[in-house]
Amino acid sequence: MSVTWDWVDFVLGATASLATSWLLVSRLERLGERFGFSEALLGLVAALAADAPEITSAVTALGHHQGSVGIGVVLGSNVFNLAALLGLGALVAGRIALHRRVVVLAGAVALWAAAACLLVVEGVVDPLAGLLLVAVALLPYLWSAGWSQRRLARTAAPGPALRWVAAAVADEEVELAEVIDVRRGDWRDGLLAVGSLAVVVAASVTMERAATGLGRHFGLPDIVLGGIILAAVTSLPNAVVAVHLAARGRGSAVLSEALNSNTLNVAFGLLLPAAVVGLGGGSEGRLVAVWYAVATLGSLVLAWAGRGLRRPAGWVIVAGYLALVAVLIASP
């Protein structure tokens, strides 16, 4: 009977978590519009809200000292994001056109976060040091995302670097302005956001605990449970949105969603809770961390070299994820 209830809890938790995350995203976007956020910053807020299921699942796993599950959820989700958002997006659209400045700006932050994550998982630095390393790149990126090109241009004596950042932010905002069209929020949106967040957290905790019970019943390794099952389920909303954006030709918006989502996953879903409760995890966790870093670098190289991603590049990215799945399933 407990297995039956685990299935019921998993399905209900996943459904409630994913469905409510959409409401959370929309209300936070409205609040961001009210407070005058730039389109780039609105996109970051939306990415963080959409990441709530995987972040909550990972935090729950780490809190119960299931390091392999926590690492798997976050880093497995990140590799899945690259495959589903960039790879599948390119396959569906035929080509995702990208501004090279956006690839470099968002890509540099994503690569830095992946490298810091790898250092933590390998035990070279502790989680708190890794979190500080991510902050070194993420905070300036958040600052630049909060400024429009016009406001950056008004900065006293802007140098070449600042002008380049302004141009990169402008490239990103050109597309985000077309896909983020929301009205200004009010106090009701704030209440709905708080309520939605509570539901997402509760549902994601339920889903993670039920999945852990099912994994034990069927003898699944923790890394398979976290890196494949929970990672894919919690990342589905991002994948659906990305394919829709890719089909509409919004390449930079797709890239920003994928890379920003991954960076926020690492910072808030893995390193921050690990700094409090510890990390743990075994050799499989290190494998996924290496795979995530290599997949991020490879995707960015393909995107920069081709000024976007065509179907052959999409197949390469998707094949990389499927190879990871095969390796994890085959691991003892």
CATH number of the structural domain spanning residue 307: 1.20.1420.30
Q: Which residue has the tokens 């500080």?
A: 132
Q: Where are the alpha helices (DSSP H) in 219-248?
A: 222-224, 231-247
Contact status, residue 132 vs residue 271, Cβ threshold 8 Å: no
Q: What is the pLDDT of residues 12-21, one digit of tens each?
A: 888 887 778 7
**Residue 3 tokens, joined:** 């297995």
| CA–CA dist 327, 292 (Å, integer) | 14
| CA–CA dist 290, 203 (Å, integer) | 30
Residue 294 pLDDT grade (very low, low, confident, very high; cuts 50, 70, 90): very high
Cα–Cα distances in angstroms (integers) from residue 241 to residues 84, 238, 258, 293, in the given order: 10, 5, 10, 23
φ, ψ (nearest 5 deg) of residue 248: -90, 5
Gyration radius (Cα) of the chain, Å: 19
Q: In terms of Cα–Cα distance, which of 87, 66, 104, 122 is closest to 258? A: 87
Out of 36-50, 108-122, 249-263, least confident range: 36-50
Q: Which residue has the tokens 């919004």?
A: 250
Give the chain's domain count. 1
Residue 323: CB atoms within 10 Å: 12
| CA–CA dist 187, 193 (Å, integer) | 10
| CA–CA dist 74, 274 (Å, integer) | 12
What is the per-residue pLDDT for 1? Answer: 45
Type of residue found at 52: A
What is the per-residue pLDDT for 157? Answer: 46
Q: How many CA atoms within 13 Å lie on the side-chain side of 73?
A: 31
pLDDT at 324 over 70: yes
pLDDT at 125 over 60: yes
Q: How many H helices and E strands in the chain?
A: 16, 2
Residues 6+ apart with CB under 8 A from 194: none
pLDDT, average across residues 57-81: 84
Contact status, residue 38 vs residue 145, Cβ threshold 8 Å: yes
**Residue 115 tokens, joined:** 């490298």
For 216, the domain range is 2-330
| CA–CA dist 30, 120 (Å, integer) | 36
pLDDT over 70 for what percent of the chain?
80
pLDDT, average across residues 89-94: 84
